[in-house]
Amino acid sequence: LLRRLGFDPASASAPFVATLVDVSGIVIYFSMASVILGGTLL
């Protein structure tokens, strides 16, 4: 899909990977905070 639009797949996928890593990190962070503070996971 990215190749058809004229984008380099390697450089175009970097923001998607960074966003995925950031979101998963935030979810893990708040899950651990919830376990420590409330004693329940989400």
Lowest mean pLDDT among 7-11, 25-29, 34-38: 7-11
For the entire predicted model, the pTM comes to 0.61
Residue 26 pLDDT level (bands cut at 50, 70, 90): very high
Q: How far is CA 11 from CA 5, 17, 21, 24, in A?
A: 13, 11, 16, 21
Cβ burial of 12 (10 Å; 0-12, 13-18, 19+) is: middle
Q: List strand residue ranges (DSSP E) for the chain, in order.
A: none
DSSP H or E stretch at residue 35: helix 9-38
